[in-house]
Structure 1
């Protein structure tokens, strides 16, 4: 395929504009740092806690509307075995944002935390906090890989460039301005990126619906006679799929465990503003997913009428070639004018950069604030901490970029990314914020139970066979599919384990059923001494006096 020179020039121009805005925002960040009387690193991480509501809504929405969201939603709608009911983003993100505003924004912002891991560190200490960082970091890396993979596939289809080159160039731009300006660069570039995504995607949709290739899109009852499915999902498994979706995917609250979410909440000027930002982002994020749903439905319609055969792509359609993951760029490239498809790739590029910079900064922030500052270098200066953030941004970006060369399914990366957080981190976050009795013993037990149940349940997207077979499982072509909400089971089991073990251990030590010598973490020693002091104040006073004499 020949390289589309005009399209390449347009994309490069867009990248340069974003880079210039990022550099300008970095200078603004430096000015704020000079006026800041507290920690300079907090300006990089949470923007000095003075990000206004409008910018907050823009950057919150742009963070979640990434390449994985845009392309993954279109892929799910188009894929014969999935459909709209398996489009994880639009429904799940709305639920996540509403619950974040109701139950998490106020307690997190009112206590002036800097990262999502701060409450864990205060209650459980440094070692367990470091253990929690591992799945969060892996999830961020998979998130970066998914959105870069989405962009590489889009650019290679529309511009004729190699996917690897597109991934490297896009990653480099995002790393540079995040490296320079922290949250300020991320937030201000998000505004331009989100506006461009909205305008260009809807313009592409208009051309698709009015184009000659799409002759019949009967929403939502249109049945593809060739593949035997609707764009809503497989007709045979529609009801059980919907049930499992809302139990295991639409309610997959892994999004509530992303540092990128709390970075926006904690950067707000007040708790009320943080809540408003969450509620507004729920609506805007859902709206941004509608064009991708339409693109996926259009692809189903085009395949039905064999209109792919009227394009340079020809037949068989993308689903039969194993290219469902690239359905959005394929539709734009083959069913719209060239200049419109270039706008489409610009939208995906903007979405990728707006999400990638957030993932880079979130991982770097947690490592610097909760590991480097508290464990590795307790006496580190503010300048050193800022450089730790920058180097972490660079390393996470490089590793995430390397992973992007792996799988062609954007949806697989996106689902596994949220899966880790849903089963392992979300139950921990709920308990550390809303359960005062939760302690380190319960947290460790819950972590182990959640991890074991999730691993033993298998993951078809990654080719991992299940060891535990739940009710309703089925096997097709040698692949076992769980028709039971096993993710939610792992999450709930973890919550029950955290609260149950915490209560049992506390009762055991307080009632002296368990010997105090078994308290290897030393959690109840101080509490026991305080209780004795209150119960026998004079006796303890005399004992302390004798000890001193």
Structure 2
């Protein structure tokens, strides 16, 4: 395909603008030596900027491209992500945002390290990191396909150059740069996509999308796949909560109330921003591709469209809108990718610098050292996400995998560490192992993992038809609760000798009271000594007088 020079120039200009804004925002962190301020923008994110950055974090390239892809391929009813992630933000705002912000945590892993210890926090970091890398890979892949279709730029060059820009301004500005660029990016997404929709919808080669819509692009749920449908929706709704990208914005809010408002308004933003992608998917279904330039000019076969469903949004922009309009759409996709890629890269890097390096590897590290480790980690996470993007096949599949491990492993852990005060390291560790084992044993065709355990209604052709991911999550949750209660009982009643308590979780209330009493007595004694010295000093002064 011939390289489109005007399109390439438009993309370069857009990247320069985003880079300048990111570097401008980075001035607020110039000379900053407090790692917490860099990670959370000094906990000074207002409602306006907060809503934009919260919405932009979820509405990435995977979101808009994946939504259009699924509506085209499977129908609107089967496109669960927009509604699922909106519900996850609402649940997060109702049950988790207040508690996390009140405690003043810096990262999502802080409550885990404080309750279960640094090593368990490090173990929980693994699925959190994988989730962020998968997410970033999905959105970078979305941009690669868009640039390849619209301006003929190499898939590899598109992904690598986009990742480099996002890494560069995130490196210098932390959350300040990410948040302020998100404001511009979400505006670009909204304007760019909505500008393209009317032109594509009124194209003479596109039939009215309202005609036979229920069978053409809305469709319904496959009765045999109801279990999978329910499983996927619950995974999006609850698996969308335990993400550092979400809690980073919650924890950066000025107040607890503001943290909840960001969640609720972000949920509304996800629904609103999904509408143009849904319409583009519907337009693709109702287009006569045999008469488009896809066939008549570029000599492709119309039958190839179905096998290129992951490219459906850029294909609509390229072949069903005027060239100048498609450039605006390209800017929208580029903005969407930047808005999510920078957030995920920063989030994973912050957790590594604070919860892995600072708390496990080098506890005496200075604040300046932690900031530099975070910056080095930004390069590492960006490289992992880029590699994932270069090897991905389906954007939507990778997008789903983002929430998979997070849902099965992290969600039950988050619920217990926040709401179950008696949960301990033993329960957390075994719950982690149980959730991970039974999820992997269920297989994952997209990663070439065969099913070791065949859950009820298993199909040799279609795989697991039972909502086994939810089952694995519940098994993990039950394990954490039951093992925590059992070990607390055994150690506190001294049924098992304290020397076997390797995680030191069996401290009884009596011991805590004695320690408190001892500390109180010590404080009283110190106060008495200080009082005695003061009286003696006063008497000496009187004697001299």
TM over 0.5: yes
In structure 2, the partner of 1:482 is 464
- On the 8 A contact 1:76/1:86 being kept in 2, the answer is yes
Q: What is the distance in 2 between the residues matched to 1:116 and 1:441?
A: 20
In structure 2, the partner of 1:336 is 321
- On the 8 A contact 1:148/1:167 being kept in 2, the answer is yes
Q: What is the distance in 1 between the residues matched to 2:350 and 2:211?
A: 44
Q: Displacement, 1:385?
A: 1.4
Give matches, 1:129-148, under 5 Å. 129-148=121-140
Q: Displacement, 1:520?
A: 1.9
In structure 2, the partner of 1:226 is none
Give matches, 1:390-401, under 5 Å. 390-401=375-386
Q: Displacement, 1:462?
A: 2.6
Residue 182 of structure 2 is aligned with which of 190, 195, 199? 190
Residue 248 of structure 1 is aligned with which of 206, 212, 232? 232
Give matches, 1:81-100, under 5 Å. 82-100=74-92
Q: Displacement, 1:240?
A: 4.9
Deviation string for 1:326-350 (max 9, x for gaps)? 1111111111111111111111110
Residue 402 of structure 1 is aligned with which of 380, 387, 412? 387
The question of 1:517 aligning with 2:499 is answered: yes
Compute the RMSD of aligned alpha carbons: 2.2
User: Structure 2: any 5+ residue segments left out of the alignment?
Assistant: 518-545
Give matches, 1:175-214, under 5 Å. 175-214=167-206
SS at match of 1:231: helix
In structure 2, the partner of 1:502 is 484
- On the 8 A contact 1:55/1:191 being kept in 2, the answer is yes
Give matches, 1:105-184, under 5 Å. 105-184=97-176
Q: What is the distance in 1 between the residues matched to 2:226 and 2:324?
A: 38
Residue 58 of structure 1 is aligned with which of 52, 58, 64? 52
In structure 1, the partner of 2:68 is 74
Q: Displacement, 1:250?
A: 4.6
Q: Displacement, 1:28?
A: 2.1
- On the 8 A contact 1:312/1:334 being kept in 2, the answer is no
Q: What is the distance in 1 between the residues matched to 2:298 and 2:182?
A: 35
The question of 1:317 aligning with 2:289 is answered: no
SS at match of 1:191: helix
- On the 8 A contact 2:492/2:507 being kept in 1, the answer is no
Distance change (3 Å), C-alpha of 1:424 and 1:65 = same
- On the 8 A contact 1:154/1:329 being kept in 2, the answer is yes
Q: Displacement, 1:408?
A: 2.3
Deviation string for 1:354-388 (max 9, x for gaps)? 10100111011101111111122222222211111
Q: What is the distance in 2 between the residues matched to 1:460 and 1:383?
A: 44
Q: Displacement, 1:309?
A: 5.0
Using structure 2 for the length normalisation, give the TM-score: 0.90
Q: What is the distance in 2 between the residues matched to 1:74 and 1:523?
A: 50
In structure 1, the partner of 2:256 is 271
Q: What is the distance in 1 between the residues matched to 2:314 and 2:8?
A: 15
- On the 8 A contact 2:289/2:302 being kept in 1, the answer is no
Number of residue equivalences:
516
Distance change (3 Å), C-alpha of 1:219 and 1:272 = farther
In structure 1, the partner of 2:368 is 383
Residue 432 of structure 1 is aligned with which of 388, 406, 417? 417
Distance change (3 Å), C-alpha of 1:262 and 1:313 = farther
In structure 2, the partner of 1:47 is 41
The question of 1:471 aligning with 2:456 is answered: yes
In structure 1, the partner of 2:535 is none
